[in-house]
Every structure is written in C-alpha cells, then in structure tokens.
Amino acid sequence: MQVMARPAAALPTPTILPAVPLSPACLMPLSDDEFSATMARFAPFEGAPTIAAAVSGGRDSMSLALLASRWAVKLGGYLVAITVDHCLRPDSAAEAWQVGEWLSEHGIRHRVLRWQGPYPASGIQAAARQARYRLLTDYCRDNAILHLLVGHHREDQAETVLIRSERFSGRDGLAAMASVREQTHLRLLRPLLDVPRERLTATLDAVGQNWIDDPSNTNTEMARGRLRSQGGELSQPDTLVEALATAQTCAQERILTERAVASLAARALRFDPAGFATIDRTQLATATFDIVERLLARTVMAVAGRPYPPRGERTRRLRQAIANTGRFRGRTLAGCRLIGHENLVHVCREAALIGPPVRLTPMGAEVWDNRFTASVTKNLDGEARLAALTERGWYQIVAADPLLRDTSMPYAARTVLPAIWHAKDVMAVPHLGYVNAGRPSVTAGLRLKWLPPLAVAPAPFGKV
C-alpha cells in the first residue's frame, strides 16, 4: 500500500513507502550496540566527532542516519545528513524536503545539495553518481568533516559482484566495494556492508519511520533494477552466498596485491613536489611482472592526474622497455612523458596534454591540470594566470637568471612546471624559486601544492 506524505508548499508530493508491522519472518532491527561495534572497526575517531551521511530518503540511508546520529551523539558529536537533489525527476525537490522533515523529528541536521548540470546526452546515471560524490566530498572538505558514511548493504555488495562479473571485470573489480576508502580530504565509510537489507527495513519499522522509494531502483533497463526485480538473480539464496564469497576472496587477494605494490613503490619511487616522479629501474627486478605493471600504471595516473589506467597492453610494453638492460630511450603514455637517465626513469607530465590556464583570485582554491591546487590571499593583476612554463617561458627566465640552468630537474619536468604569467611574461615559477624582478611580491600569499587525485600506493583495499 502506498500513502501520501503531507506536501511542502508549492512542491509536488512524493510517493512514500510506509513502515509496516514487524512480522515473525522479518529479521531483528540493527541495535545501537551492534552499530557501535561496527563503527569501532573504523576507529580511531576524533573526540566529539562530526560525521556526515549521504541520505537519499530510501530505507538504507534513513536507517544509517538514525543509527549514525545516535552513535555520534553518545560520543558528544553529531551527524550532518546530506541529501543530493540531482534535479532529474519532478518529485526530487519534494522528496529532499520530506527527508529533512523526517530527520528534524529525530534532531538530525540536514543539508540539501543540488546538481544542476550540465547533463550529458548519455551516461546520465554515471554522471549523476560522479556529481553526487563530488558534491558530498566538497561539502565535507569545506566544513572540516573527516568521515562520510554511505548506506550500501549486503545485497548492494552482491549486486556489485554480479554486475561486474557480467562486464568481465578482473579480480580487483570482483572484490566489489570497500568498507573504507581513504580519500584526499576524508574517509568514505560503509558500516552497513555486511548487514542484510531486511534488518535495515526492520530498523525503520521498529520506530515507525517511513522512507521514500526511488523508482529508478526497480527500473529493469538498469542493471541493478533487473537484479532487484521479481525473479532476479538475487532472489536465489545460493547466488547471494556465492557472490558474497567471491567478493570476500577477491578482496583478500586485492589486499595482498596492493601491499606488494606499496612495498615496491617505497623501494623504487621518489616523488618531487614539482609534479614528477623518478623510478629506480634496478628495483623493478625484485617484483613480479604484474606488480611492476600495476606500479607503472598508477605512477602514470598520479603524474598525469587521470582517474583511469592506461591500456594493459601499452603498460606491458612500457614495462618490457624499462626492464631491458639497455638504454631506455623514452616513451609517452597516458598523458606522461617518460625519460631515461642511467638506471632512472623520470615520469613527467606530457606538455601537449596539459590543461588550460586558470585565473588566480582570492575567492578560493583553483585546480590546475587536475594536479595542482593554487590559492592566493590578495588580488593579482587581472590578467594573471596559472599555466605551464613551456619552453618559451624557460628561455625567458634563464635569460633573466642564468643560474637557473644549473637546476638538476629534468628538462621535461621544467617546461611543464606551474608558472604565473602576465600576458606574455613569466611573473614567477615557485618550484624554481624564480620571481620576476619587476614583481617581487607576486608570490606573497600564494599557496601552490601538487595534489594528484590518485595515490600510487593508497590505503589498502578496506575490508574491515
């Protein structure tokens, strides 16, 4: 049976699924003690923690919000529930309002973040997911929140395995979702990943809390909707058990593999704050081909600031070329230029693929080339911009300061350094210590940091 929630002023009324009486066949609600035990696996937390949770209004995220809020309050902190309105359905604004009304009854703070495009012509679900996580993480970063919780549960995990299996994902993909993901500004936590969905339903039923059912969850044109439809694969108990077992096995394998990559990275890699990396070729011989190729792929991804690895065949050819005992003559791969020098390989950004310049204003941090963050605390000239030094800029600054020629930095890394330009003149190159004599204060209040969106050796796959 469907009931209608009381509408917000001037907003359409969302469709609500009511709480239903707890039947003997239902599993027991998830208790506060059980949730606390789960959160203890992610410890330590700061004192009086402020945490955030993504809350769409579905049964999973509503259960998470109630449980996480009580957990945080017991520790002297509080929860901020965040609803992302993708503005893709007529009812989305009313649903976000309704979620806020429900949460306020439990004393939970609520924020609504809206994604207003641009919307792609295809792949809207993937774009919406990417936008959702960007909005959530940006909010947490801007509000100094270190932990973001999401409500994925046991059946979500099994669905992920089945979907990736259909798409012929490798063993890493079949490890499915991690319980914890260490990101640049926060940790993404999935405390319900081992909890059956029925227990989350029972948790809401126990307190008479309604939830909103998203119609896209049962859209059979989508992979998850097909799996959730009547007669779908997950309706077979054996399929669920097998999928979860696969995730567990592959997760353990992935953890061991990532440890090996991290160990090799510690021995073979050196990163320079100027935005390039150096590989010791002799250390690569101490690891298997698979581990070396993973290290090379992730190094290239970090230096190029790209989220996806290069093609496996191209990475394999690079590994073979570097492993050759002869001279490494250099290559380009996935936005990087690799230069050989004796037993070293310098991995630099490829000049031809660098992103466009960005204006520097004291309004906030700017990201240049998806790799460097830059901020200023005072107004620069209106034409000041952050862009690559380039060969022309290099010749300009060494003409002004010939001692710069003595730098040990590889030439390929110098020309792609971030530089502050004014029209056709280089005002400053912070990583070389260069400041235009006519602009002595241009770097005052400038913060420039290489912050790749992906780590070569991130925190191991989080299966807690």
What residue ranges define each of the domains in the chain, with the CATH number in brackets?
3-252 (3.40.50.620), 267-352 (3.30.465), 354-450 (no CATH)
- Give the whole-number percent of the chain exceeding pLDDT 70: 88
pLDDT value of residue 13: 40
pLDDT value of residue 453: 81
CB 128 within 8 A of CB 86: yes
pLDDT value of residue 4: 32
Where is pLDDT greater, at 225 or 375? 375
Q: Out of 123-137, 156-170, 214-228, 428-442, which region has the weakest mean confidence (pLDDT)?
A: 214-228
pLDDT value of residue 220: 52
pLDDT tens track for 326-368: 788 899 999 999 999 889 999 999 999 999 999 888 777 788 9
Residue in the structure block whose two tokens are 């959530």? 136
Question: Given a cut of 60, is residue 8 above it in pLDDT?
Answer: no
pLDDT value of residue 201: 95
Give the whole-angstrom CA distance, residue 313 versus residue 56.
41
**Residue 154, helix vs strand vs coil:** helix
CB 394 within 8 A of CB 403: no
pLDDT value of residue 156: 92
Q: Provide the 10 A C-beta neighbour count for residue 290.
A: 13
pLDDT value of residue 227: 62
Give the whole-angstrom CA distance, residue 236 versus residue 195.
18
What average pLDDT does this structure show over 43-70? 96
Q: Phi/psi of residue 288, each to 5°?
A: -70, 165
Q: Give residue 438's pLDDT band: very low, low, confident or very high (50, 70, 90).
A: confident
- Give the whole-number percent of the chain exceeding pLDDT 90: 63
CB 66 within 8 A of CB 149: no
Where is pLDDT greater, at 414 or 237? 414
pLDDT value of residue 107: 97
Parallel, antiparallel, or unpaired: how do β-strands 336-341 and 344-349 relate? antiparallel
pLDDT tens track for 292-324: 999 999 999 999 999 889 999 999 999 999 988
CB 148 within 8 A of CB 65: no
Q: Out of 78-87, 186-195, 254-263, 373-382, which region has the weakest mean confidence (pLDDT)?
A: 373-382
**Residue 123, helix vs strand vs coil:** coil
Question: Given a cut of 70, is residue 426 above it in pLDDT?
Answer: yes
pLDDT value of residue 36: 97
pLDDT value of residue 400: 94
Q: Give residue 10's pLDDT band: very low, low, confident or very high (50, 70, 90).
A: very low
What average pLDDT does this structure show over 205-217? 86
pLDDT tens track for 116-152: 888 888 888 889 999 999 999 999 999 999 999 999 9
Find residue 41's DSSP bridge partners: none
Mean predicted lDDT score pLDDT of the chain: 87
Residue type (1 letter), 121:
A
Give the whole-angstrom CA distance, residue 158 versus residue 166.
13
Nearest CA-CA partner of 9 in 76, 97, 126, 87: 97
Question: Given a cut of 50, is residue 20 above it in pLDDT?
Answer: no
**Residue 422, helix vs strand vs coil:** strand
